[in-house]
Every structure is written in structure tokens, then in C-alpha cells.
Structure 1
Amino acid sequence: MRIDASRAWGGYAAVMTGMAAWLALGGAAEDRARLSVLDVERINVREPDGKLRMVIASSKRMPGIIIDGRDHPHPTRTEGGMLFYNDEESENGGLIFDGRIRNGQPTNGGSLTFDRWHQDQTVQLFTDEKGAKRRAGVIVNDHPDGPMDIAATTRAMALPEPARSAAFRHANVEFQQRAYLGRKADGSSQLELGDAAGRPRLRLQVTADGRPSIALLDAGGRVTRTIE
């Protein structure tokens, strides 16, 4: 059988062109894929340089507290959800949620937060349900200047009061609530504003049975004037 060299080279070129096109299409498919269902326990969203920007995970696969790319054990986090990270690869907010039957009563919770740099949450949108006790609202907090000491915070969790509060202050994690707007556990709706020390100074309230009031408080928490 005689082989025509020109035809052989033409066939080779055609095959190579086809392979190149297939690889190009395959590469594009790897960059962008469409799936009907994706079941995973954790997704890490990263920048092109590898820095972590977001984690979506189940409760068992959530990271600890990541600061400057280093993962520290979290002393209390048990929920699943989504965590956000800044350009330094440090946690700066998140969305977490849980819910189950505990001791025969329903419990449910969700929290969207935004943190201060190397600190805890300054703004929180939340809901919290424990049987008949339900709260929901928005909280604004003040946190200390400077980063928190995560290792010292973890150690403080095991201490009794008042040593625990002192240890929290030393770890730079003590905070003051400056504002609360939402539903309280007693069924009232309330707007409460605090001073720089976190002491409530103004409270607007409508009780569960519909009684409105405005209360002014002194630094000791005593009501000095009420408007009803």
C-alpha cells in the first residue's frame, strides 16, 4: 500500500487542529461549569493569588478565627454558614445559623455580622428563638482599639467570674453595646441607646400589650424621666 506523504501531513494537521480546539473548549469548561446540583461540606473562595475571601461550610467544616491567614480555634462557634475575609485574609464578618429541638422546645437562630479590624462584630442583624422566648433585631457595638488576643480569650472562657471579665479586658475583647432596635424576649419592641461605656441612657418602648413609653436613664441605670 502506497502512502501519499502530502495527504498524511494534511491528516496530521487536521488531527492536531481538532485536538487543540478540544483542549481549548475543555479549558473553558473548567473555568466555567453549569451544574444542576452540587453537594459539598465546604467551599473556599480565593483570590488568584490564593488569599481566602469567603468560606461556605457546614457546622463541622467551619474554620476557627482566621487572622492574617492563620487559623485559630474558635471558643464558641458551632453553627454552619458563611464567613467573610478582608484583603489581609482576616475574618471581618459572616452569616451563621442553626436550629433544632432542645429539651423538648424549638430553638432557632441566625446572625449576619460585620466586624471591626482584628476585632469582633460592630453591627449584627440577628434572630434568636428559645421556645416562647424570642428576640430579633439590630445591634451596634463598640470594640476596643487594637486587635484582640485570641489565645487569651480562649483561656478566659474557662475562668469563673469575676476573673473571666478581667481576663476578657486583658485580652482586649470587652465591648459596649451602643444601640439595640428590635423585639425583646418579653414581647416588647424597643429602641435603646447607650453611652460610650455601654450604659443605657435612652429607651423607647412599646410593651406586648401596646403601652408606649420613653425613658431617660442616668449613668447608674436609674430612670430619671418617663413619658407615657
Structure 2
Amino acid sequence: MFKIDPSRAIGAYAAVMTAIAGYAVIGAATAPPARFDTIDVRRINVREDDGTLRMIIAGRDNIGGIVIGKNEYPHPSRAEAGMIFFNDEGAENGGLVFNGKIVAGKPVNAGSLTFDRWHQDQTIQMTSEEDGARRHAAFIVNDRPDEPMRFDQIGRLGTMKAGAAKDAAVRQANMVGTQRVYLGSAADRSAELSLRDANGRKRLVLRVEPAGAASVTFLDEKGHAVSRVAPGS
């Protein structure tokens, strides 16, 4: 009667399973990527091989708060869908977001591409916004503090009303910013390039009115025009 040697059987089994596992790994490594015609998802997280988060693509309801490393903090105002960018540390450093709907019978619509300073808010922004008849589109450059924002404090700002208390909370959270460059359309539909000093005061304005009148204006630290150049002046 034929007998099976248990030790040899176990060895053969191990060899077969190793071969199968190896084939599966090699096959997975060489298999072509999956292809889809349509994918419906609520959120996509793009990560590095070590798990570091590098991008979020999501709708408004799932885009989440402000992610800094392994911590997530409530965002005081973000209510848009889009993409959020993260640096090599997994900290948010910009994004592309957009929204739009009818509010009280008028269109409210916005899109924004931003790039942040390290652990701070945006220093560069391309934006288009409209609120009924009020609208503008611009390229904006901001100064931001050297110190990081206090992410544990900014969530409550979304529930605060505008005023002195909220202004103080913004300063405490180190969310202050100073606009230095504005290039775009203004609320009155004129085209404008304004350059500001480190305190956010306009010092040089190039402007073309909707009807076509053009001017270059130099201003002092109090906002008074000290010189103005215009055709025919």
C-alpha cells in the first residue's frame, strides 16, 4: 500500500503555496492598471507609498476640515467641492475649490485656486466670485505671518459674527493677512492693478474705467492721492 510521508507532503504544500503567492505578486506588479468608463465616488484620497496624504478630491459634504499631518481641525468657512493639496508632510498647502447656487433669487458663484504658505493661509490666489450684481475676478498676492496658524482655535471663527470680538479671535489664531497685489476687475467693472505696502495700504493704482478712461495714481500712507497721471492731464 502506498504511504505518504507527512514531512514531504508539508514541504510540497509549502512549495506550491509559495509558487502561487509569487505568481500572484508578479502578476499584480505587471498587470495593466484597471480602467473604468465612469466612477461615482464621494471622496478620493491620494497617498504616497508610506501613507502620507497628498491630495483630496471630494464633494462639499466630504471635503473635510484642515488636515495638518495626522490632525484634522474644523474649517471656519469652507463649503465648496474640489481638490485640496498637501505638502510632503501631509499638511494642507492649497487647493482648487468651487461652488454656485441661487440664493434669495440671485446667483452666488465662486471658484478659487490657491497656494498657501507653510502652515498658513494662501499667499497666491486666482479667484472669480459673484453675488448677484456684485462680482469680481482677480489674481491676488498676500503676505502671511512667519508663525503658523493656531489651528486649534480657528474652527470657532465660523460661528462668530463680524465685529471686534471676531477680529481679535482672528489675530489670536494668527490668521491675519495683508493683500499686496490685486490684478483684476473691481466691483464697478473697472480693471485695476493695485500695489500695496506692508500695512495693506494702496500706494500705486493703475485703473481703466468701464467707459475707457485710464489713469495711474500714486497715494501716500493715508490713502490720499499725491500724483495722478491720465491722458490729457
Classify the TM-score, shorter chain: 0.7 to 0.9
Separation (CA, whole Å) in 1 of partners of 2:109 and 2:100: 4
* Aligned residues between the structures: 215
Other-structure match for 1:224? 226
Separation (CA, whole Å) in 2 of partners of 1:165 and 1:19: 65
Q: Give deviations 1:3-47, integer Å, cap 9, x for gaps.
A: xxxxxxxxxxxx99x977984686258772111111111000000
In structure 2, stretches of 5+ residues that fail to align are 1-15
**RMSD across aligned positions (CA):** 2.4
The residue identity in structure 2 corresponding to 1:83 is I
Separation (CA, whole Å) in 2 of partners of 1:134 and 1:227: 27
CA drift at 1:156: 4.1
After the TM superposition, which parts of structure 1 deviate over 4 Å for at least 4 consecutive aligned residues?
A: 18-22, 28-31
Task: Identify if the C-alpha distance between structure 1 residues 193 and 70 changes in structure 2 by more than 3 Å, giving closer, same or farther.
Answer: same
Q: SS where residue 60 of structure 2 aligns?
A: coil
Q: SS where residue 60 of structure 1 aligns?
A: helix
**Contact 1:127/1:136 (CA < 8 Å) preserved in 2?**
yes
Other-structure match for 1:66? 67
Task: Identify if the C-alpha distance between structure 1 residues 213 and 66 changes in structure 2 by more than 3 Å, giving closer, same or farther.
Answer: same
In structure 1, stretches of 5+ residues that fail to align are 1-14
Match of residue 191, structure 1, among 188, 193, 207: 193
TM-score, normalization by structure 1: 0.86
**Contact 2:75/2:154 (CA < 8 Å) preserved in 1?**
no
Q: Give deviations 1:77-115, integer Å, cap 9, x for gaps.
A: 000000000111100000000111111122221000000
**Contact 2:73/2:155 (CA < 8 Å) preserved in 1?**
no
CA drift at 1:212: 0.4
Identity among equivalent positions (%) equals 49
Other-structure match for 2:93? 92
Task: Identify if the C-alpha distance between structure 1 residues 49 and 25 changes in structure 2 by more than 3 Å, giving closer, same or farther.
Answer: closer
The residue identity in structure 2 corresponding to 1:167 is A
2:201 counterpart of 1:211: no
**Contact 1:69/1:88 (CA < 8 Å) preserved in 2?**
no
Other-structure match for 1:134? 135
**Contact 1:179/1:192 (CA < 8 Å) preserved in 2?**
yes
2:179 counterpart of 1:177: yes
Separation (CA, whole Å) in 1 of partners of 2:169 and 2:62: 29
Separation (CA, whole Å) in 1 of partners of 2:27 and 2:218: 68
Q: SS where residue 125 of structure 2 aligns?
A: strand
Task: Identify if the C-alpha distance between structure 1 residues 104 and 26 changes in structure 2 by more than 3 Å, giving closer, same or farther.
Answer: farther
CA drift at 1:163: 2.1
